[in-house]
């Protein structure tokens, strides 16, 4: 949980000062949007490299060195702000996103090993640790801005603390499993088409979860102000409600999975995502809209951890490949998800755009409801 919290805390501290970054560089909203997309683009461009790095260095070294890489890249971005160079900021964010992709695979792979060792669900609580870390990092960034601490100094000190925390956490990681000898009993590596048939439904599960986060982060305040007539200054309550519900869902999610089983818990969570987002999109008032956002936040809490867990168990894939693929799919889609909502909103309305995005969760749920093939005798 400390490793997850550290990974959330490091970049969030810079995100909290984005308004200051925008003003310091004198960027228009459109150009600023292109600059900050560098973080997501860096993660998407990592492709399969996070899995390769984790197999080569091991998850403990990848987590520690990846955090150091992220911190150095964030300091580079902060230096770009100080020097008035948007290109340097973009370069720093691209490198940060690449490092974050590697650390993300490392911590989730290790989390799944710990979960398997305990023989019960634990990964959701670890993701809750990420939420705590992100909130802490944002608070530190806000405090540094209020105290007018120079951005480079702030990020250098915060990087040192986060690298120390991750290194201490990684020292307690479980050792890498020994490679199994190849023999007649070892499952053959599946073909590309077979792998896609297994991983694509899992990617849809993860994408259903992050679509809720995207709606909450970028559109919940817009929905409440433009569609429900709420004061723009207070419309941020929608994101607070959603993230609070998501945090509660992650803290309770492991118990629910252990009690109901993965498949039933997943069907329940996807159902809540669908009902919550549709309810928020079309509710007649503010209260019902907030209830819808809360239901969606509860529902999305377990989707990404379950997708990681199932992908990690795909037989025949190299170590960490399943987790890497799901992580990459989420980062790649996140680059286009919010712009797609914006285009659909411009052509029709925000409730219609949110309803279209709900289709991801509908397809994921339909795939989970398919009858499972009966096991062959013997």
Binned at pLDDT 50, 70 and 90, residue 345 comes out as confident
- pTM, two decimals, is 0.76
Instruction: Give the number of C-alpha atoms closer than 13 A to the C-alpha of residue 13, restricted to the C-beta side.
Output: 32
User: By percentage, how much of the chain surpasses pLDDT 70?
Assistant: 93
CATH class of 2-170: mainly alpha
CA–CA separation, 211 and 362 (whole Å): 12
% helix, strand, coil for the chain, step of 5: 80, 0, 20
DSSP 228: S
pLDDT at 346: 83
Binned at pLDDT 50, 70 and 90, residue 187 comes out as low
Binned at pLDDT 50, 70 and 90, residue 216 comes out as confident
Q: Do 315 and 187 contact (CB within 8 A), yes or no?
A: yes
Per-residue pLDDT at 6 exceeds 60: yes
Binned at pLDDT 50, 70 and 90, residue 183 comes out as very low
SS3 198: helix
The answer regarding whether domain 193-369 maps to CATH 1.20.1250.20 reads: yes
> Could you report how far apart the first and last alpha carbons of the chain are, in Å?
41
CA–CA separation, 157 and 17 (whole Å): 15
SS3 35: helix
Q: For the residues 197-212, what does the mean pLDDT come to?
A: 88
How far, CA to CA in Å, does 234 sit from each of 194, 228, 238? 49, 12, 9
Q: Of the spans 222-231, 242-251, 276-285, 317-326, which averages the highest pLDDT?
A: 276-285
Which residues contact residue 47 at a Cβ distance below 8 angstroms, ignoring those fewer than 6 apart? 328
Return the closest-CA partner of residue 274 out of 332, 357, 191: 357
Choice between 133 and 190, residue whose per-residue pLDDT is larger: 133
CA–CA separation, 331 and 39 (whole Å): 10
Return the C-alpha torsion angle 295, 301, 303, 306, nearest 10.
-140
Choice between 336 and 356, residue whose per-residue pLDDT is larger: 356
Per-residue pLDDT at 190 exceeds 70: no
- Rounded to the nearest integer, the mean pLDDT of the chain is 86
Q: Write the pLDDT tens digit of every residue in 278-312.
A: 999 999 999 999 999 999 999 998 998 899 888 88
Q: Parse the chain into domains and list their residue ranges.
A: 2-170, 193-369
Binned at pLDDT 50, 70 and 90, residue 233 comes out as low
Q: Do 105 and 323 contact (CB within 8 A), yes or no?
A: yes
Q: Write the pLDDT tens digit of every residue in 101-149.
A: 999 889 988 988 898 899 888 888 898 888 888 888 888 888 888 888 9
Q: Do 78 and 95 contact (CB within 8 A), yes or no?
A: no
């Amino acid at each position: 949980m400390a490793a997850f919290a550290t990974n959330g805390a490091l970049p969030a501290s810079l995100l909290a000062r984005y308004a200051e970054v925008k003003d310091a560089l004198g960027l228009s909203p459109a150009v600023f949007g292109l600059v900050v997309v560098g973080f997501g683009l860096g993660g998407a461009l990592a492709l399969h490299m996070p899995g390769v790095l984790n197999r080569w260095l091991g998850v403990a070294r990848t987590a520690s060195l990846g955090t150091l890489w992220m911190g150095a890249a964030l300091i580079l971005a902060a230096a770009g702000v100080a020097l008035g160079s948007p290109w340097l900021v973009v370069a720093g964010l691209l490198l940060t996103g690449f490092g974050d992709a590697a650390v993300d695979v490392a911590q989730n792979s290790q989390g799944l090993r710990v979960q398997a060792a305990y023989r019960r669900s634990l990964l959701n609580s670890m993701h809750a640790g990420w939420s705590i870390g992100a909130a802490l990092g944002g608070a530190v960034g806000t405090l540094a801005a209020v105290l007018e601490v120079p951005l480079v100094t702030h990020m250098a000190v915060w990087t040192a603390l986060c690298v120390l925390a991750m290194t201490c956490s990684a020292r307690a990681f479980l050792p890498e499993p020994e490679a199994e000898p190849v023999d007649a009993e070892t499952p053959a590596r599946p073909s590309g088409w077979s792998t896609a048939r297994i991983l694509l439904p899992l990617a849809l599960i993860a994408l259903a979860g992050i679509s809720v986060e995207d709606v909450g982060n970028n559109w919940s305040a817009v929905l409440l102000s433009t569609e429900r007539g709420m004061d723009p200054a207070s419309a941020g309550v929608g994101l607070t409600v959603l993230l609070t519900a998501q945090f509660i869902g992650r803290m309770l999610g492991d118990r629910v999975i252990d009690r109901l089983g993965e498949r039933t818990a997943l069907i329940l969570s996807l159902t809540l995502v669908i009902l919550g987002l549709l309810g928020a999109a079309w509710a007649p008032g503010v209260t019902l809209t907030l209830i819808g956002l809360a239901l969606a936040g509860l529902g999305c809490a377990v989707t990404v951890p379950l997708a990681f867990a199932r992908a990690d168990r795909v037989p025949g894939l190299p170590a960490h490949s399943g987790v890497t693929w799901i992580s990459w799919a989420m980062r790649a889609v996140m680059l286009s998800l919010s712009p797609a909502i914006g285009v659909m909103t411009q052509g029709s309305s925000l409730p219609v755009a949110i309803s279209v995005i709900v289709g991801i969760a509908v397809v994921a749920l339909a795939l989970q409801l398919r009858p499972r093939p009966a096991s062959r005798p013997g």
